[in-house]
Amino acid sequence: MSQNSTSSNSASRRDFLKKSLTGTAVLTVGGVLPGFSAKSYANILGANDKVRLGVMGVNSRGFALATNFALQPNCEVVSISDVDSKAAAKCVAGVEKIQNRKPKETPDFRKALEDKDMDGLIVAAPDHWHAPAAILASKAGKHVYLEKPCSHNPHEGELLMAVAAKYKNVIQMGNQRRSWPNVKQAIKEIHDGVIGRPYFAKGWYTNNRPTIGTGKATAVPSWLNFDLWQGPAPRKAYKDNIIHYNWHWFWNWGTGEALNNGTHMLDLMRWGLQVSYPTKVSSSGGRYRYQDDWETPDTQVINLEFGKDKFMTWEGRSCNSRNIEGSSVGVSFYGEKGTLEYGGGNAYKIYDLDNKVIKDVTNDMPIDPRNKMNPSQALDATHFQNFVEAIKKGTPLASDIISGHQSTLLCQLGNIALRSNSILDIDPTNGHIKNNKEAQKFWKREYEKGWEPTL
């Protein structure tokens, strides 16, 4: 099938979806009406009323996304793609159980993109695949739900913005707190002046991750397509301590804790302070806890200045789980009249300058920020519904790719400052590094020949 044919068919389906009924009733936060199961909805709604989605990467977070999207009454998961045949089979079974329809198992997601009736792709593969997969999906005329971080490096983030502008598709980054009701309310309170003029924000993430040891070169398991797993990344030998999670800590595929978890909090800080690109970035840290194959920092502080008026800092501790302000993850905003403290969930507190609590907004939905797979299922559905409504009705995205890139870039600049051992001067109009050849080397990565992402 030609590229133009695929794009034309997908565009026609998008037009149909926008004209179709976008819902049968008001949804609960979990995405399902009281008294009905997801299977019941399959009989109420016609297949054409649903957004049909493929999922790429379903071992952990991708499994959670696939099953949660399958729970949404206006979605159908039609394709599962993973280089791990065991993970794919498990996800196919999990999705079928929920929606009473079996999705196709298509190991290579590029083949899945040829389906003219598939509306969008959910990308939850490792970080080095995020932007390249989203770009291929966009070229095929698909919408994209893209797990954070949206890119492995700044060059890819800029490519994504250009792709969205060229192909006019919906690309939503998975920084789901942008859609959580009490988080949105907290940010609005800051913008409305509840703590006066905010000028400083502090974010953090803590955990107690064990050592990954020293990997041994061994044969690639029979259930794994390691070549496709590496995809656009320069080829490295298979070792027994890389897959499935430890790739986060290798620069060739991962982006460290800063982008793995810092992206969420730096995004909230940028949103709350109403800033885009910084003017100065510095970072310190390293791999301190264990002597093993882990390459990225296990302890890191990133400082970002926005002119002379606003400043933010993020602290990441992968191997010491002592909480800050009583929470393993969170953000505090400091202003002329007080402080707004957010603990990572769907709740927040406001303090005056005498440290007196003047407002306490609570949440009764269970959230586990350290859960690697599915920390907030019900709340995440609000972000999924925003993505679906953007496809069907043109509703503005809670996290479009421009915003997603700007927040991801803050983390990337922190890593670049650390790796180049320099304080970065940044052009506040576009986020580019000024007058630093050593740092600029990290703006774009090397790609495996033939796998380079392009417009």
Give the span between the Cα atoms of 149 and 405, in whole angstroms: 8
Mean pLDDT in residue range 363-389: 79
Cis omega (within 30 of 0) for bond into 73:
no
- Cβ contacts of 369-375, under 8 Å, gap ≥ 24: 369/327, 369/328, 369/329, 369/344, 369/345, 370/207, 370/328, 370/329, 372/60, 372/61, 372/245, 373/60, 373/61, 373/63, 373/64, 374/61, 374/64, 374/68
Pairing between β-strand 310-317 and β-strand 198-206 as defined by DSSP bridges = parallel
Hey, is 185 helix, strand or coil?
Answer: helix
Contact criterion met (CB below 8 Å) for 286 and 333: no
pLDDT(199) > 90: yes
Pairing between β-strand 299-306 and β-strand 310-317 as defined by DSSP bridges = antiparallel
pLDDT bin (cut points 50, 70, 90) of residue 376 is confident
pLDDT(454) > 50: yes
pLDDT(151) > 90: yes
Q: Work out the angle at residue 312's Cα, subtended by the Cα atoms of residues 325 and 299, and round it to the nearest 5 degrees.
A: 65
> Hey, what CATH class is 181-368+402-440 in?
alpha beta
pLDDT(11) > 60: no
Mean pLDDT in residue range 207-233: 98
pLDDT in tens, 250-262: 999 999 999 999 9
Mean pLDDT in residue range 307-325: 98
| 3-179+381-400 CATH | 3.40.50.720
pLDDT(110) > 70: yes
Mean pLDDT in residue range 401-424: 98
pLDDT bin (cut points 50, 70, 90) of residue 366 is low
pLDDT bin (cut points 50, 70, 90) of residue 27 is very low
pLDDT bin (cut points 50, 70, 90) of residue 377 is confident
Average pLDDT score, the chain = 91
More confident residue, 39 or 121: 121
Mean pLDDT in residue range 95-109: 97
Mean pLDDT in residue range 378-394: 95
Contact criterion met (CB below 8 Å) for 327 and 262: no
Contact criterion met (CB below 8 Å) for 296 and 255: yes
Amino acid making up residue 416 = I
Cis omega (within 30 of 0) for bond into 143:
no
**CB-neighbour burial class of residue 325 (10 A; exposed 0-12, middle 13-18, buried 19+):** middle
What percent of the chain has a predicted confidence (pLDDT) above 70? Answer: 87
Q: Where are the domains positioned within the chain? A: 3-179+381-400, 181-368+402-440
Contact criterion met (CB below 8 Å) for 123 and 137: yes
pLDDT bin (cut points 50, 70, 90) of residue 443 is very high
pLDDT(19) > 70: no
More confident residue, 25 or 252: 252
- For residue 35, the model assigns a pLDDT of 36
pLDDT(244) > 80: yes
